[in-house]
Chain A
Amino acid sequence: MNSYPIAEGVLEIRAMPLAISVALGQKATNRLTFRLRIAQRTLTGNQTQFLLLAEAIANHIETFLSQDSYTTLRHHLPLRPALSLSTLELFDLANAMDAWASEWLLLPSLPPIRRLHPLWLLVLTAAAVGIASLLRPQPTADLAPLPDVSLLEPSLESAPVPESDRPATPPTAPNLHQSRPAARSPQTPEKPANSVDRAPPAPATRPTSPTLGASPQISPTPPATISPENPSNPSLSTRSEPISPKPINPQPTPSAAAPTAPQTPESATILAAPPAPEAAQSSLPLTAEGRSANLDRAPMPWRVTILTSDPVLEPAQKMLLQRAIAQQLGTRTLPTWLNDKIRNQPGDEPNGKIQGLIGDRQLVLGADFEPPVIIPLPDTLADYRGTLTLEVIPPQR
């Protein structure tokens, strides 16, 4: 569990690392709960609500900074229940979430695999055979299963991680976005201002996380939960336990129907299901203003295709990498003009192809991403000598 002190409060985040963390070189999770104690209140939530909170905070700060004056130093976030923060609380909370995200990669939750009793399986199989014989056979294409990433880590999806599998030492630092440290350290800005629209250099050192060992005091007031369950009637829940994430119902999106790059035996396309669509379906905002803002800014699925010149990569490894990249992109809030730039980049291949650069076990996606998208490479890719091309197609808006 990570604890971050907030002005007169604390943010606690519990996350269970997935096995893929080793391959990614970064802690990854798709199961998270958090507890925010602030100003005599306690808010709890799951991964969906965490993302909602993070997005609401980021949007609010961006809007606040773009104004030339303010009317109040209280900051009202468009959430249910309403969350009102002082400036220092807002600042600390944003830093805490940035710190956590710099250390962890948040992957989308997938529906748990339901294990059926063998007897039920027999009954269902018999029923299915009977029904199938009465119906016209369906085209094979309709029955072809989509790549199900959950199959790669079923136990993590369906069973809790044993205590022994949890990291022995608490995380020490962060990264939702690239932070300034690079500029802070003397060795970083060797190329001080070369790139055009890239933000200040990436951090050379990670900020020290204010991790606390002691559990915070539990507020006597019943914890409130940011409810994502009923967007049409968002209300404050008084449950003390966090709501478990709801399964994602895959729905076709415009981008799914869009033409894709020619598939080769060495290529595979995944459509990442980033957290935002899940959030948009099941939750929030709450006020009309908030809903509008979130719909406009919610990360939509990015499609990432990896094309390799040599079939060195294991398909599963490649798919996981694609998923990681799509997730990285999906959690970003890119300005519209940058989206357009990616889609119509003059110097790039059609459809916004961006060349991947390999070096030092990191994959850097084009200079137009702000901040730069830097993704740790799995071991099998770090030594890869062939040509690797990424096709990155931004969300259809």
Chain B
Amino acid sequence: MLAVGVTGAPTLADPQPIKAHLDLVLLALEAIAELNSEAMLHTAARLHLTDTIGDRLTLWRLRQSSPLRKGKGGRKRLDVDEARALTLIASELASQHHSKIRQTVAHLEAYSQKGRAPHQAPMVGDYLDRFFQLYEERMEERPPEALALKLLVDLLFYSAPTGDRRLWLNLLERSSPSS
């Protein structure tokens, strides 16, 4: 749900789930595509989003606003424009790395059908290793493997031509009072 803040900038009624989910989606992208913040800033520039996310510090503070993060130096507020910019960046990066995401999901499905543990699939195992490493560096607790795998499958859907819309609707859904 959207509201207008004191400054006039639209804000999200309950931004906590949005902050957390956006940060996790970007973290999963970092893990699957071995990205860093430079790639995100480059994408922001390509999408003409530098007014919202123009430098590494801004990006760090926005991502640090996730309630799951260890540090407390992040922003407490998240504007709609900022959430939208992160949404566009995430879906654009997912689209760029669609082939690898799809291939990894295919391996995940194949191993699941055989009843084998997902991490035994080489591509999935590499992804999980990087995901856990990044997660433990930044978050309070070790995540369940199911979360990492779910984010991987989510990335597949966000990499579609309508992926930004799917991610955005998902975020709105998470911020609505009924959710």
Contacts and interface: CB of A to CB of B under 8 A. Distances in A.
B161 A199 contact: no
B164 interface: yes
B117 interface: no
B139 interface: no
Nearest to A194: B81
Given A68-B150, A70-B150, A196-B2, A88 B102 contact: yes
A348 interface: no
Interface in B73-99: 80-82, 84-85, 87-88, 91-92, 95
Contacts, number: 137
A177 B163 CA distance: 11
B153 to A, nearest CB: 6
A196 B162 contact: no
Interface residues of B, number: 50
A98 interface: yes
Interface stretch (B31-39, B41-49, B60-68, B125-133): B41-49
B91 A73 contact: no
Contacts of A66: 170, 173-174, 179
Contact of A370 (B10, B108, B169): B169
Contacts of A68: 147, 150
A337 B146 contact: no
A366 interface: no
A196 B4 CA distance: 9
Contact of A86 (B52, B109, B169, B179): B109
Interface in B1-53: 1-2, 10, 46-49, 51-52
Contacts of B108: 73
Contacts of A61: 157, 166
A99 to B, nearest CB: 8
Interface stretch (A183-191, A306-314, A353-361): A183-191
Interface in A328-350: 335, 337
B164 A199 contact: yes
B157 A193 contact: no
Interface in A168-208: 174, 177-181, 183-184, 186, 188-190, 192-194, 196-197, 199-200, 203, 207
Given A68-B150, A186-B47, A200-B168, 18 more contacts: A62-B170, A65-B166, A66-B174, A69-B149, A69-B150, A72-B112, A86-B109, A87-B153, A91-B102, A91-B156, A91-B157, A179-B165, A180-B88, A192-B85, A193-B85, A199-B169, A337-B176, A370-B168
